[in-house]
Amino acid sequence: MGPPSDARKNLREPERRPCYNRRVKSRLHVLLEGRVQGVFFRGQTESWAAGLGLTGWVRNRPDGRVEVVAEGRREDLEALLGLLRRGPSFARIDAADVRWLDPTGEFDSFRIRRTDD
Any long-range contacts for 7-11 (C-beta under 8 Å, 24+ apart)?
none
Catalytic residue among 12, 16, 27, 42: 42
- 21 in active site: no
- 10 in active site: no
- Asked if 110 contacts 49 with a C-beta cutoff of 8 angstroms, the reply is yes
For every residue of 52-72, DSSP letters joined together read TT-EEEEEE-TTS-EEEEEEE
Catalytic residue among 27, 59, 60, 65: 60
Phi/psi at 81 (nearest 5 deg)? Answer: -60, -40
Alpha carbons 12 and 7: distance in angstroms, whole number:
11
Residues noted as catalytic = 42, 60
